[in-house]
A and B are shown apart, each in its own frame.
Chain A
C-alpha cells in the first residue's frame, strides 16, 4: 500500500489523487472520530490519508458582484472573523461543536462528510450555495443539494477534491438558522432548519428552507419552496397549517440514539412556524 501523503501544492495533490486512491483529511474532526481505534494506535483508515489542511490554495475568501467564494480548507474560526461571511452562516457556525473544533474544522469537511445533520450544509443550501470540484483535468460546479446524494454519500470521484464553495452575493430580508440539540456546545443537531426569505412590497420573491437530521441528507425542495413565491406575507401567516402540510412529505426522520422520529417531526414543524412568526 502507498503511504500517507503530505503534498506541497494543490496541483501535486490532484496529480497524486489521479494515480492512487486516498482518504482526504482536512481538519480531521470527522475522519478521526469515524476511524477511531484504541488509544495510542493509528486510526483504522481504509485508504492512506491525503493531508490538505495546510494548502494555502484552499484557504482563500473572496467576493465579487456575483459570489462570495470560500476555499474548502477555511476553518470555522476564520469564517467567524471575516467580514465577507453572511450573518446567517456565522450564526450557524457559532452553534457548531466548540471552540477547539471550530479552530481546525473546515467548511469543505462539513460538506464532503455529507451528514444529514450537518449544520453548515443546511444554511449553505438555503443560501443556494454551490461547490466547485476539481481534479487534475476537470473542474465542475454543482449545487450542494445535488452534490450530496445520501447518508455520507456525494458525487465526488476518487480523483476529485472540493476546491471551494460559492455563495450568491445577494442580500436576504430574513435568514435564520434554528438548531435543536441535547447540549448547547458539542451537540449534533436533533433537528435544524435554515430558512431564507425575500419580499418586495409584502409579496414573497424568494423562499428557501433546508432541514437537518430529518432524512438521509439535508432535505430541501425547490418545488415546495416555490409554492410560497408570489404569496403575501399575510397569506403565509394565515395559512400556516396548509404550509406545514405541504412540507410534511419532506420531513421523514428516524429514531436513533439522539432522538425519536416523532419528536423530530414535531420540532421540524414547530421550527417552520417559528420562522413564519418571525417574518413581517
Chain B
C-alpha cells in the first residue's frame, strides 16, 4: 500500500505492507533508532512517538493507520526549542541514567504539555503512566517535568 504521512516535519511516501508496526518502519526504513523497542506489547512506552501531537505506542500502531497523519519522533522533536528545555530539565533533575526510556519519556512529556501546559503532579503521573523506567525511580523524572514547565513558561 502507498502510505503518505508527515514524518518529522517532512512529507514522506512509502510503499509497504500496512500491517507492519510503525515502530519497525521508523527504525528499519528511516533509521530513526531513537524509537526503542522494549516490550513490544504496549506496556513500557519505550517506543512512544507522537501522532497528530498525541503520544502513542508505535509497537501497537499498524503503519496503515498513519496514512495522512503527522508523526513526530525524538529525532524530529530534537530540533525544537521546547525539546531543549526538556532535555536540560531531564539532565539537571538527574532523570536520565541508562537513557533507554528517555526518548519515550520526552515524547510523553511533550504530549502532556501540548494539551496541558500547567499540569498538576497527578496529571504528570497519569501522563507518564505508560512509560517504565528501570533506573531512576520516577521521582526525578516527575521533577524534571515540573522543571520544564517552570522554565518553559509561555512556550507551550
* Chain B 106-156 interface residues, beta-carbon cutoff 8 Å to A: 108, 111-112, 126-127, 129-131
Contact code string B5-18 (vs A, CB < 8 Å = 1, else 0): 00000000000011
Inter-chain CA distance A6–B3, complex, in Å, is 10
Interface residues on B, range: 35 or more
Chain A CB within 10 Å, residue with most, of B20, B68, B129:
B129
Which among B57, B64, B130 is the interface contact of A51 at CB below 8 angstroms? B64
Q: Provided the pairs A39-B24, A51-B18 are in contact, do residues A100 and B42 lie with their beta carbons within 8 angstroms?
A: yes
From 67 to 92 in chain A, residues with beta carbon under 8 angstroms from any chain B beta carbon are 77
Given the known A-B contacts A36-B41, A39-B40, are A99 and B19 also in contact in the complex, defined by CB atoms under 8 Å? no
The answer to whether B48 touches A100 (Cβ under 8 A) is yes
Q: By the criterion CB–CB under 8 Å, are A28 and B62 in contact?
A: yes
Q: Which residue in A6, A101, A104, A184 is a CB contact (below 8 Å) of B51? A: A104
Is B96 an interface residue when CB atoms closer than 8 A count as contact?
A: no
Of B60, B111, B131, the contact of A104 (CB 8 Å cutoff) = B60
- B64 CB to closest chain A CB (Å) equals 5
The interface residues of chain A lying within 8 Å CB-to-CB of B57 are: 29, 100-101
Known contacts A99-B127, A185-B129; A54 and B19 CB within 8 A of each other: no
- From known contacts A39-B24, A104-B61, infer whether A97 and B130 are also in contact, taking CB-CB under 8 Å: yes
Q: Which of B52-74 contact A (CB under 8 A)?
A: 54-57, 59-62, 64-65, 67-68
Tell yes or no: B82 within 8 A of A by CB.
no
Q: Which residues of B contact A28 (CB under 8 A)?
A: 60-62, 65
Report whether A4 and B130 are in contact in the complex, using a CB–CB cutoff of 8 Å: no
Binds B, one of A42-50, A193-201, A260-268: A42-50
Whether B55 contacts A100 by the Cβ 8 Å rule is yes
CB of A20 within 8 Å of the partner chain: no
Contact across chains for B67 and A29 when beta carbons are under 8 A apart: no
Q: Does B28 contact A (CB under 8 A)?
A: yes
A42-B17, A97-B130 as given contacts; A103 in contact with B62, CB under 8 Å:
no
Considering only CB atoms, which chain B residue lies closest to A75 in the complex? B54
How long is the Cα–Cα vector from A130 to B154 in the complex, in angstroms?
Answer: 45
Residues from chain A with Cβ under 8 Å of B68 in the complex: 54
Give chain A residues whose Cβ lies under 8 Å from the Cβ of B56: 100-101, 103-104
For A39, list chain B residues within 8 Å (CB).
24, 37, 40
Q: Is A32 an interface residue (CB 8 A)?
A: yes
Instruction: Please indicate the chain B residues that have their CB under 8 angstroms from the CB of A77 in the complex.
Output: 54
Q: Which one of A49, A54, A98, A184 contacts B45 once the chains associate, using CB atoms below 8 Å?
A: A98
- Residues of chain A contacted by B75 (CB below 8 angstroms): none
Would you call B92 an interface residue if the criterion is a C-beta within 8 Å of the partner chain's C-beta atoms?
Answer: no
